[in-house]
Amino acid sequence: MVANGKSAIGLPDVLLRPAMHHSFAFTRLTLWRFFASVILAGVLVGEAAVADEIVADEIVADEITTDEVTTSQELEKRMVELVDQLGAAGFADRERAAAKLMEMGPSILDPLRTLAEKSSDPEVRDRAEAIVVQMAEGNLQMRIETFLSGGKCTFEGWEEFKDAMADNNVTRDLFIQIMTEHPTLLPSLAGTTRDRMDAVESTIGKIQHRQFIERTFATAADTIALYLPTRDPELPLLAGHESVMLRLLDQEAARVIRRETKLAEPFTKLFAGWTNRATLTNRTETLIKVVQWEIPEALPLAVRTLSEANQTETLAIALQVVSRFGTKKDALAVAPLLGDRRMTAEVGYAGGRLIETKMCDLAIATIAILHDVKLDDVGLKNARNRPNLGFDFREIGFAPDEKEERSKSIEIVKELLDSNKS
């Protein structure tokens, strides 16, 4: 819902698409009501001129009462009579028949459509179809308003959405936004894996069209919509899909999600549930996001990366995740990297001295942290244990002439590893 230029979850209009009450469907409903008022005005102006005709028509036509219909046969008979009267010669008779059909409510939509299709009278077909549109769209708007007010939901995909995102005023508003912007996605949550895959591709297509053609930002609804189908463990995601998902986490909508308490926790769980299936192609970026979003559930991914990846950047980020979320038992997976002398960063300065950082240095830091040992105690001078990061890359390393000091540090952490075996 939008008020003062912002939605119920605090997103500016430029980031969040309007809810259904600003949708195309509601615009059509508003136009229909406008035309109906014009027609009614014409009736009032020409009332004196048609009075005699109305009286004559009422004598000829059977008056349809509003008594309650008790059987399907009576309902069908009444509908047939009213639909026939939509093509009556008298204007007032046609209007009266349309009003009676509207009074019957949305339950007659399907049979009314059928009767309209079968009619050979173009006037009847046009009027019946207009009634169908007005009732269907009016009923949808009523359902939305009832739902947003906390009433029972009859929309497809709500149970699955609620299970992922909880049920509150913020998530209900978000649900309607997703239903409006990505109509195939929510039904797919209750469908098959193929349905969800199709919905993911459709959602990505719309997001990219907005970004590259319309030049608009993705919304919170876009971001959450794209992650919802990943709850399906069988959902196959290509590297290209992952790239879009990860880029969304760098945009303003993701920051808004993190600030909104009713969205932050459930969305973080969505992201966490997907991370362990990330492809090696996007592993570095995924692990960076894991650190930023505080995702301990991604520890298995980081440990697995130590044996799957070869790029120093990917391995370095994996070690940081392991040092942040791992335990002593994970140190054994780090041990092979103690022999890796590849440079992981340009030569820099730390504590006022020139240092170079090699993969083995990051392995030393990781093993020390996993054993609750201070980095300075294993020879990493001026380096500190960082609660939120594990370690800071800029602090880790040795001076170019400190080869012996590096070797001593490696021996210290090997002793820590040996203590795990005993």
DSSP string, 165-233: H-SSHHHHHHHHHHHHH-TTHHHHTTS-HHHHHHHHHHHHHHHHHIIIII--PPPHHHHHHHHGGGGST
> Are the C-beta atoms of residues 9 and 17 closer than 8 Å to each other?
no
pLDDT recorded at residue 315: 98
Within-domain flag for 282: no
Within-domain flag for 386: yes
Domain boundary among 117, 148, 179: 148
Separation of first and last alpha carbons in the chain: 62
- 3-state SS, residue 14: coil
Instruction: Answer whether 0.75 is exceeded by the pTM.
Output: no
Q: What is the pLDDT of residues 243-299, one digit of tens each?
A: 999 999 999 999 999 999 999 999 999 999 999 999 999 999 999 999 999 999 999
Domain boundary among 148, 164, 182: 148
386 DSSP β-pair partners: 390
d(Cα 343, Cα 317) in Å, to the nearest integer? 14
Residues 6+ apart with CB under 8 A from 111: 76, 79
162 exposure class (CB count in 10 Å sphere: 0-12, 13-18, 19+):
middle
Within-domain flag for 26: no
pLDDT recorded at residue 20: 36
Q: What is the pLDDT of residues 152-183, one digit of tens each?
A: 888 999 999 999 999 999 999 999 999 999 99
Within-domain flag for 210: no
In the chain, the amino acid numbered 170 is V
Domain boundary among 148, 182, 200: 148
pLDDT recorded at residue 342: 96
pLDDT recorded at residue 1: 40
> Are the C-beta atoms of residues 338 and 364 closer than 8 Å to each other?
yes
Within-domain flag for 222: no
d(Cα 209, Cα 199) in Å, to the nearest integer? 15
How many domains does one find in the chain?
2
pLDDT recorded at residue 53: 40
Domain of 408 in residue numbering reads as 311-422
Within-domain flag for 207: no
Within-domain flag for 80: yes
Residues 6+ apart with CB under 8 A from 364: 338, 378, 379, 380, 396, 409, 410, 412, 413
pLDDT recorded at residue 42: 40
**Helix spans in 17-90 (H):** 24-45, 47-60, 72-85
Within-domain flag for 256: no
pLDDT recorded at residue 112: 84
Per-residue pLDDT of the chain (422 residues; tens, 9 = 90+): 434 444 434 333 333 333 333 333 333 334 344 344 433 344 333 433 333 443 334 433 444 454 444 567 888 888 888 888 888 888 888 888 888 887 887 778 788 888 888 888 888 888 888 887 777 667 788 788 889 999 888 899 999 999 999 999 999 999 999 999 999 999 999 999 999 999 999 999 999 998 899 899 999 999 999 999 999 999 998 999 999 999 999 999 999 999 999 999 999 999 999 999 999 999 999 999 999 999 999 999 999 999 999 999 999 999 999 999 999 999 999 999 999 999 997 777 777 788 999 999 999 999 999 999 999 999 998 899 998 889 999 999 999 999 999 999 999 999 999 987 76
d(Cα 67, Cα 65) in Å, to the nearest integer? 6
pLDDT recorded at residue 120: 87
